[in-house]
Amino acid sequence: MSEQGRVITYADAGVEALREEMRRDDSIVYIGQGIGPRGGNFRQTRGLWKEFGDERLRDTGICELGATGAAIGAAMAGTRTVIDEVFLDFALEAITQIVQQAANISYMSNGKIKAPVVIRGAMGAVRNAGAHHSHTFYNWFANTPGLKVALPATPYDLKGLFKTALRDPGPVALIEHKSLYNTKSVVPEEDYLIPFGDARIVREGKDLTIVAMSRMVDLAAKAATVLAQEGISAEVIDPRTIVPLDRTKITNSIRKTGRLVVIDESPSYCSFAGELLAIAVEDCFDELQATPRRICSLPVPNPFSPVLENQMIPSVDRIVREVHEVMKQVRRVS
């Protein structure tokens, strides 16, 4: 991507993807709380209701189960639907519709019924919102066969992955991070798609591989800059989608560097970070020069206290410190 060009916010990139696709495909319908005239909690639908009206942007009451069921049913009946859960936390109110219905229907109907629905939600800690509004359980969705999972980390990726999701024949969980909505990057005005399963090499390196998702990509890149000043060359990879996963690009990097560190805002137990460590051992065992490591949030509910929350979530300082520990390891081969 060129470093020169039009710069817009993450929120505006999502709006632009929706506007372009809703103009292109009049079967797209958007359902959610406060997404009409108000433009959404995070400005994620700002200006769309004025252009497309109530028939295509339908404000709902606070009932994720009912709204998600209606969205999935509409998708099965022939529309292409986006259901905005707003806060990912409350997608759990509708989990049976997502897991039991949307993810299964194509298989159970032998492909006769499709569910082209995008399940959109904002995750993660921001402004000390407390335990009810800060979860990052995207790895739960990755454990559901039939459901694709995208984690855009930049405005450029949000627009390209959103447009791809809106053209996919099956259900896609598009999971954004609340702290990213005001971030900016270069986003082309022309139409483009980012294919699922195509990881992005954020920074090339030779001493170790860092894989990070969503907001953690920025922290990993900042940590890599600090490490470079200390003589450690870190390669940073953003999977962009975790289902499907670009396993080849990740394992090629691990084979090159011999070390893996995964940065994940979810707690480590049963996490996607653990899956990446398993892949490293399964595919790259002979090339590993150190024990792969997870740098994750502590296994506690998100505290309201800013001081405690900052201690809970991975930080640049913590990443740098733990990378140094990994670099000190020398694997002994018997």
User: Strands 200-203 and 234-238: what pairing?
Assistant: antiparallel
Query: Distance (Å, rounded) from C-alpha 110 to C-alpha 71?
Result: 21
Compute the mean pLDDT over every residue in the chain, rounded to the nearest whole number: 95
pLDDT at 334: 52
Encode pLDDT of 30-79 as tens digits: 999 999 999 999 999 999 999 999 999 999 999 999 999 999 999 999 99
Cα 53 to Cα 19, 74, 308: the distances in Å are: 12, 18, 43
- Residue 145: its pLDDT value, please? 97
Residue 3 has pLDDT above 80, yes or no: no
Which residues make beta-bridge pairs with 120? 84, 174
Cα–Cα distance for residue pair 221/223, rounded to 1 Å: 5
Which domains, from first to last, does the chain contain? Answer: 7-186 (3.40.50.970), 200-328 (3.40.50.920)
Average pLDDT over residues 216-245: 98
Positions marked active-site: 64, 133
pLDDT value at position 274?
Answer: 96
At 175, the amino acid letter reads I
Long-range contacts of 201-205 (CB under 8 A, 24+ apart): 201/235, 201/236, 201/237, 201/249, 201/253, 202/236, 202/237, 202/238, 203/234, 203/235, 203/236, 204/235, 205/233, 205/234, 205/235, 205/236, 205/257
Percent of the chain with pLDDT over 90: 90
- Whole-angstrom distance, CA of residue 305 vs CA of residue 41: 23
Can you give the pLDDT at residue 333?
A: 57
* Confidence category of residue 2, pLDDT binned at 50, 70, 90: very low
Q: Determine the pLDDT at residue 146.
A: 97
Counting residues of the chain whose pLDDT is more than 70, the rounded percentage is: 98
Q: Give the C-alpha separation, 257 to 277, whole Å.
A: 15
Find where tokens 């913590």 sit. Answer: 318
Residue 332: predicted pLDDT: 63
Rounded distance between C-alpha atoms, residue 292 and residue 20, angstroms: 42
List alpha helices for the chain, DSSP H.
Answer: 10-24, 48-52, 64-77, 95-96, 105-108, 138-142, 155-165, 216-229, 247-257, 272-284, 306-312, 316-328
Instruction: Give the model's confidence band at 134: pLDDT under 50 very low, under 70 low, under 90 confident, else very high.
Output: confident
pLDDT in tens, 94-127: 999 999 999 999 999 999 999 999 999 999 988 7
Contacts of 276 (CB under 8 A, 6+ apart): 211, 250, 260, 262, 292
**Residue owning tokens 């595919």:** 283
Look at residue 132 in the predicted model and tell me its pLDDT.
Answer: 85
Identify the residue with better confidence: 2 or 267.
Answer: 267
- Report the range of poorest mean pLDDT among 9-23, 205-219, 269-283, 298-312: 298-312
Distance, in Å, from the CA atom of 56 to the CA atom of 53, rounded to the nearest integer, reads 6
Task: Report d(CA 207, CA 161) in Å as an integer.
Answer: 30
